[in-house]
């Protein structure tokens, strides 16, 4: 039946071809037309899905804090007017964003809009709430398609952080238990943010776009906030794990000549993720596994006098530095037992490590030194 159908389609194409075109050219034209129609439908579906997510975000904000939602809806007109003025003179807006930096402080996401100082000066002044809310960007603030993958979830998650700050100061009443009942909105928003960050880390631009810095600040604020981090990690832990694995692979696979500036920003992102206890433990396990695997591969190549991947060897030092930093911070600031890292992975890493260091120390002294320093931190008295 399939062969007959294909044959019938071929005859139909041949009979319907216009004069002056070959059957092959006509078939290619029809295939292109169909693919363009499919692309158009896919684009329409993506637009509708984005709109559905935006409506879910607004609904969730309304459930958490109706007053916050209503105040922002009232101020959308004034905010759009302000944005229209900024579009005439975009330099002032971009300079504000660039000033935000990448501080892991919870206030960093708000400093870029000039909000944090006003909030701290009048934390208990109820009139500050209206003035503060007037300066918040509307959720439907439009961007180009590439920026939208990052800015759309950033604005929603910024709203959550803003409600958190206001509720903590007694300015707003908020019910964050609503986050437990809406896994769709949280998961999709965080997933969009992580996917957007991954896209920009895969093909970095210098200097970094300001909205990339905003995305990093929002993500770090989310996972370090005592009230929101549990909700976010509970629903998005697998996505966060995938994000960490992607960042590690970006470091290992980057082969561009001028890659170290880009890789440095990725390694800083991993270090910031390690500020969270839950993410730190799993990140240490991932790094231990990667470093152990490479050390074993390097030993085999050295003993067989065969070639090894020198680019990956250079990139591996970034992972070693991140791993050492995480272990050092853990040793200095907590008494969490080593079982939290996964006893099995620790045993695998330390197994035959002295022999590996002994064989590699002459040819690869710096890498051997890093292996030794990591082993010392794993075996330190505070980690046992």
Model confidence over 260-281: pLDDT tens digits?
Answer: 888 888 998 999 998 888 888 8
- What count of other Cβ atoms lies within 10 Å of the Cβ of residue 8? 10
pLDDT of residue 145: 55
Contact by Cβ (8 Å): 192, 152: yes
Distance CA 181, CA 197 (A): 26
Please give the backbone phi and psi of residue 289, each rounded to the nearest 5 degrees, phi first: -65, -45
Least confident interval from 151-155, 191-195, 344-348? 344-348
Which pLDDT band holds residue 180 (cuts at 50, 70, 90)?
Answer: confident
Element (H, E) at 201: helix 183-202
CB 379 within 8 A of CB 318: no
Instruction: Note whether 191 and 237 are within 8 A (CB).
Output: no
By the 10 Å C-beta count (0-12 exposed, 13-18 middle, 19+ buried), 384 is classed as exposed
Sign of the dihedral through C-alpha 40, 41, 46, 48: positive
**Domain boundaries defined on the chain:** 150-275, 278-383
SS3 (DSSP) at 58: helix
Checking if the pLDDT of 233 tops 70, the result is yes
């Amino acid at each position: 039946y399939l062969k007959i159908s294909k044959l019938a389609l071929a005859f139909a194409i041949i009979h319907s071809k216009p004069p002056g075109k070959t059957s092959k050219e006509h078939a290619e034209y029809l295939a292109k037309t169909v693919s363009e129609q499919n692309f158009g439908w896919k684009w329409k579906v993506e637009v509708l899905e984005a709109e559905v997510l935006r409506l879910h975000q607004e609904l969730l904000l309304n459930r958490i804090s109706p007053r916050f939602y209503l105040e922002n809806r009232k101020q959308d007109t004034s905010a759009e007017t302000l944005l229209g003025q900024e579009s005439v003179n975009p330099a002032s807006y971009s300079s504000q964003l660039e000033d935000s930096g990448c501080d892991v402080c919870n206030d960093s996401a708000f400093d870029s809009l000039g909000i944090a100082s006003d909030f701290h000066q009048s934390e208990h002044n109820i009139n500050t709430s209206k003035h503060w809310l007037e300066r918040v960007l509307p959720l439907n603030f439009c961007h180009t398609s590439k920026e939208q993958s990052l800015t759309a979830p950033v604005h929603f998650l910024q709203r959550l952080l803003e409600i958190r700050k206001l509720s903590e100061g007694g300015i707003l009443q908020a019910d964050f238990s609503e986050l437990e009942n809406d896994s769709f909105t949280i998961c999709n928003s965080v997933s969009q943010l992580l996917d957007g960050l991954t896209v920009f880390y895969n093909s970095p631009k210098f200097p970094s776009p300001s909205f990339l810095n905003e995305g990093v600040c929002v993500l770090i604020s989310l996972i370090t906030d005592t009230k929101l981090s549990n909700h976010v990690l509970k629903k998005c832990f697998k996505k966060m794990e995938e994000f960490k694995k992607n960042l590690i692979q970006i470091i290992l696979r980057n082969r561009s000549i001028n890659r170290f500036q880009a890789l440095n920003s990725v390694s800083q992102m991993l270090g910031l993720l390690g500020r969270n206890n839950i993410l730190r433990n799993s990140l240490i396990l991932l790094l231990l596994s990667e470093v152990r695997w490479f050390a074993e591969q390097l030993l085999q190549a050295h003993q067989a006098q065969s070639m090894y991947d020198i680019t990956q060897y250079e990139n591996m030092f970034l992972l070693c530095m991140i791993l050492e930093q995480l272990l050092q911070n853990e040793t200095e600031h907590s008494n969490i037992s080593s079982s939290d890292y996964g006893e099995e992975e620790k045993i695998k890493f330390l197994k035959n490590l002295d022999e590996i260091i002994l064989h590699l120390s002459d040819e690869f002294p710096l890498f051997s030194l890093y292996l030794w320093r990591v082993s010392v931190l794993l075996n330190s008295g505070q980690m046992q």
